[in-house]
Structure 1
């Protein structure tokens, strides 16, 4: 299997980042406008993440009805990371295993959740490197609604 390049940046982020017009797919299908709501199955901790992050992502057009499932992964992974961190902070880095001391299993959960969050969070501009390149209209906080966002 050959090496893979970086994942393509979502068009909404290309527009927000100020990418050249010829690098923007002006014929990309656009999700329908509509309310973006958290699904019922979200855990309480993930719902708190959703409530904290979703409003601003919706406002800049990065989180749409089509993106709900991917954003659930972001929210659940961050919630899991926080839960694992509490477990690690409340115990030791090494714990007694059947044959002696072993790495605290919560560290593995913490690292896996961190990796998932970083991968999916980057798709929404949530990592520091993605955020440094975001360009939004400070006055409105939006990149434009509907198809007009692609014409910038």
Structure 2
């Protein structure tokens, strides 16, 4: 059952913005400050024995590793992402990688493909719609869209020694 109204701000965001109120907000779960460990992309995108599928699997692993290296350090700094929250960002990287794979397949195969029943819409179009919907929800969850990022305030880097981010 969903709750109506705006999503509550994460605790650290409310503290950074100076809007935290103990009578209205809770600190929530606290996780240990350990950077997320990158998954083994070879397990997630296993390689075929040889040929074009093996090449594509390697390209998927490389793309996922590059995306992880670009996204995770920023999330650790901006949102305090920890190892216990790794599955969400892993799911984001897998989803983005599958979208990349699907777009490449559409470019190679076209929007309409020949089957035994004649010309039909490429199945990747339906798959991509589902992945894009999931991608939008993960992007909002992680604060990676322009609108969701605008709701996250950068940590205050003033000279305050009591600051949470010292």
Q: TM-score range by the shorter chain?
A: 0.7 to 0.9
**Are residue 18 (structure 1) and residue 17 (structure 2) matched?**
yes
Does the aligned pair in 2 maintain the 1:12–1:61 contact within 8 Å? no
Q: Per-residue deviation at 1:52?
A: 1.0
**1:71 and 1:16 mapped to 2: Cα distance?**
23
Q: Secondary structure of the equivalent of 2:114?
A: strand
Structure 2, unaligned runs of 5 or more: 46-60
**What is aligned with 1:33?**
33
Q: CA deviation at 1:14?
A: 4.1
> Is the contact made by 2:35 and 2:81 (CA closer than 8 Å) also made in structure 1?
no
Whichever of the two has the greater Rg, that structure is 2
Q: Which has the higher contact order (CA 8 A, sep 6+)?
A: 1
Asked if structure 1 preserves the Cα contact closer than 8 Å seen for 2:99 and 2:132, the reply is yes
Map 1:88-127 → 2, pairs under 5 A = 88-127=106-145
| Unaligned ranges ≥5, structure 1 | none
Moved more, 49-58 or 62-71: 62-71
In the alignment, is the contact (CA less than 8 A) between 1:77 and 1:113 conserved in 2? yes
Q: Structure 1: how far apart are the matches of 2:142 and 2:74?
A: 11
Identify which of 49, 65, 79 aligns with 2:83.
65
Structure 1 position 105, deviation (Å): 1.0
**Runs ≥4 residues deviating over 6 A:** none
CA distance in 2, matches of 1:78, 1:18: 30
Q: Offset of 1:53 from its aligned partner? A: 0.5
What is the Cα-based RMSD across aligned positions, in Å?
3.0
